[in-house]
Amino acid sequence: MSESVAAEHPSSPFVEAIGGRLEEWREGYVRMALTLEPHHTNPNGVMHGGVVTTLMDEALGGVIASVRGLETVSAAPHATVEMNASFLAGARPRRSDRRRGAGAATGPAGGLRGGGGAP
């Protein structure tokens, strides 16, 4: 969303490269968004599963940082060791279509719908 939200918080070059945006950041909650484009798809024209797992990883890495505090994180970074994602429905590039990834420190990512990901 606002440039300032993104500017004040750590973001990943990988997420920037694929077009993910930080929409909200507060202690215990982070929301990412991405507007699907043709280069986010698999050979069937559907969103690639890697798009959603990337946003989940970013949202959860961010939300843990929001709780630990940025100084603590930069002194002792955390790292994903396990991820389990269920893809409930797919998504396609469309002008009005957006994928959102939200992370809450208390539980698994909420408000998420995964996408089918053939190659």
- Using CB under 8 A as the binding rule, whether residue 18 contacts other proteins is answered as yes
CA gap 69, 90 in Å, rounded: 34
**Contact pick of 2, 28, 44, 106 for other proteins (by CB under 8 A):** 44
Only one of the segments 26-34, 72-80, 103-111 lies at the binding site for other proteins (rule: CB under 8 A); that segment is 72-80
- Using CB under 8 A as the binding rule, whether residue 107 contacts other proteins is answered as no
Q: Decide the pairing of beta strands 21-26 and 98-104.
A: unpaired
- Using CB under 8 A as the binding rule, whether residue 116 contacts other proteins is answered as yes
Nearer CB in complex with other proteins: 3/82: 82
Nearer CB in complex with other proteins: 103/117: 117
Write the CA distances from 30 to 6, 23, 38, 83, 93, integer angstroms.
Answer: 11, 8, 26, 17, 23
Could you tell me how many residues of this chain bind other proteins (CB under 8 A)? 43
**Contact pick of 7, 71, 84, 95 for other proteins (by CB under 8 A):** 84
Query: Which are the contacts of 51, defined by CB distance < 8 A and separation ≥ 6?
Result: 18, 34, 36, 40, 99, 115
